[in-house]
Every structure is written in C-alpha cells, then in structure tokens.
Amino acid sequence: MKTYTPEEKSAAKNSLPAPVSQFIDSPDLAETYADIEKKFRLNLRQTGALIEVIEVTLMGLEPQFNFPNNARGALQEVSNAELAEIIDHVNERVFSEAKRRLQESGTTRNA
C-alpha cells in the first residue's frame, strides 16, 4: 500500500460524501476500533496500522478490494486465520456501516 501524505488524506476526506466523512470522525467508529483492538488482542502499533488501512480505504484512496492485502501488509505477524477474522469483522462493522449511512442519506457514491 502506498504511504499517503496528510495533504492527500485531507483532500480525499474533504471530497467524501458527508455521511462517510462524519463516520470517519464518529465516536461509533472510534468505539469499533477499540473493540477490534480488544477482541483480537492487537498491540498499539498493529491497531494504528490497521486503522490507517481502514481509513485510506474509507477515503477512497485505496480500493476496498485491496483491503485484505493491505491488512496483511499491516499485520504481518498475525496468523492467516486471525487475519481472515479481522477482515470479516472490519467488513461487517466498518465498511457495511459506511455503506448503510450512504444509503440512508440517499448518496449513491460507493464507500
């Protein structure tokens, strides 16, 4: 995965539909990150790396179909079985929620 500058991230975030931009900054997402850290016993570095991958995906800088490979790069020391669980969990709790918020708002852009 490419390393994005703060300027690239800011520009991408500013171009997002409001429901996704608000979700990225929401307490709900912060709570989801804390739940993931606890459930999968991730250390601070792992959690931060995973959050980075999730957020650049939510911002549209990385396509969602690259998420599993990008997550693998961020969490190299995690077993394949545990990584598959993390990916499923993120898909269900993060990406599905972003899409739901878009649909509820009537916005058609993919998250």
pTM of the prediction?
Answer: 0.89
What distance in Å separates the CA atoms of residue 76 and residue 10, rounded to the nearest whole number?
Answer: 27
Determine the structural domain holding residue 40 and report its residue range. Answer: 6-104
pLDDT band at 99 (very low <50, low <70, confident <90, very high): very high
| Residue range 11-31, pLDDT digits in tens | 999 999 999 999 999 999 999
Please check whether residue 109 lies inside any domain of the structure. no
Give pLDDT, residue 107.
Answer: 61
Task: State mean pLDDT over 64-79.
Answer: 96
Sign of CA dihedral 81, 41, 93, 8: negative
Helices (DSSP H) in 1-111: which residue ranges?
6-14, 18-24, 27-39, 44-58, 67-74, 80-90, 96-105
Give pLDDT, residue 7.
Answer: 96
Please check whether residue 111 lies inside any domain of the structure. no
> In total, how many domains does the chain have?
1
